Amino acid sequence: MKRLVALGVILALSGCGGGYDSLPPQVSNGNGGTVGAGGSFPTKEDGKWKYGDVSNESGVFSLSARIDATNTYTVPKYPNLKQRSWIDLEKRKMAAGTISKRFTIFAPEQVKCTPTCDIRIKFNSQIATYKFEQRVEGVLTPINDQVSSELFDKTTQSNSATVYLPIVGLSDDVESEFNLRGYNKGKMTFESL
């Protein structure tokens, strides 16, 4: 009799699904955590910035910082392949004694941008549209130096960004999310080298 009661309880519990049927789906954000419906970044951890420099006989003349998107997207031609976009920032010493700031988006897939297009970017909670050009497939640069410098500054001063990429073969823009926390200004300053 006890076995029948225990078996009945097990069957009753397994039939109700454990009560999790009404929870929102969990989606991996590529950052080791999950994001529920409506979320963005699960923790306040720093983004995974990568830094580099280029020098010649006169010293360092170029500094770079790269941040990869925290999420991936499916490639239209190959459904089993996932791609990840990234942002590259560069500071370069110019001949006139000034320093240029460059902002570049790398999309590993073909983008609907021939030769120019509008790309929406959301920094923290503010969204704006910027004109980009694509001289090389998948490499998007702002239309002029002023916009490039503005995007460089917004990237280094924000906690998060979402870039809406118009990938060829997809009807909706791909939302590439970036955790911009932890940018090291010292590694992008010429005087510190």
| pLDDT per position as a tens digit, 136-174 | 988 999 999 999 999 999 999 999 999 999 998 888 999
- What is the band of 10 on the pLDDT scale with cuts at 50, 70, 90? very low
Domain count, the chain: 2
User: What is the reported pLDDT for 43?
Assistant: 54
CB atoms within 10 A of CB 85: 24
Task: Tell if the pTM clears 0.85, that is, is over it.
Answer: no
* CATH at 80: 2.60.40.1880
Amino acid type, 119: I
Based on the domain organization, do 22 and 67 belong to the same domain?
Answer: no
The distance of Cα 135 from the centroid of its chain, to the nearest Å, equals 21
Place of tokens 């454990």: 18
**pLDDT value of residue 58:** 79
Mark whether 91 and 170 lie in a shared domain: yes
- Same domain assignment for residues 129 and 55: yes
Query: Do residues 52 and 127 both lie within one domain?
Result: yes
**Which residue range forms the structural domain that includes residue 9?**
1-43
Does one domain contain both 3 and 91?
no
DSSP string covering 148-161:
HHHHHHHHHH-SEE
Same domain, 33 and 53: no
The H-or-E segment that residue 9 falls in is helix 2-16
Same-domain status, 99 and 182: yes
Q: What's the mean per-residue pLDDT of the chain?
A: 80
Residue 137, φ and ψ in degrees, nearest 5: -55, 125
Q: Are residues 50 and 61 in the same domain?
A: yes
Q: Are residues 112 and 25 in the same domain?
A: no
SS3 127: strand
Average pLDDT rounded to a whole number, residues 29-52: 60
Instruction: Tell me, yes or no, whether 18 and 57 share the same domain.
Output: no
Q: Read off the tokens for 109.
A: 């897939």
38 lies in the same domain as 15: yes
Give one word for 141, left, alpha or beta, with left for phi > 0 and alpha for psi -120 to 50: beta
For 68, 82, 189, the CA distances from 50, given in Å and listed in that order, are 9, 21, 15
The region, left, alpha or beta by phi > 0 then psi within -120 to 50, assigned to residue 147 is alpha
* Residue where a domain terminates, one of 43, 62, 77: 43
- Pair 20, 55 in one domain: no
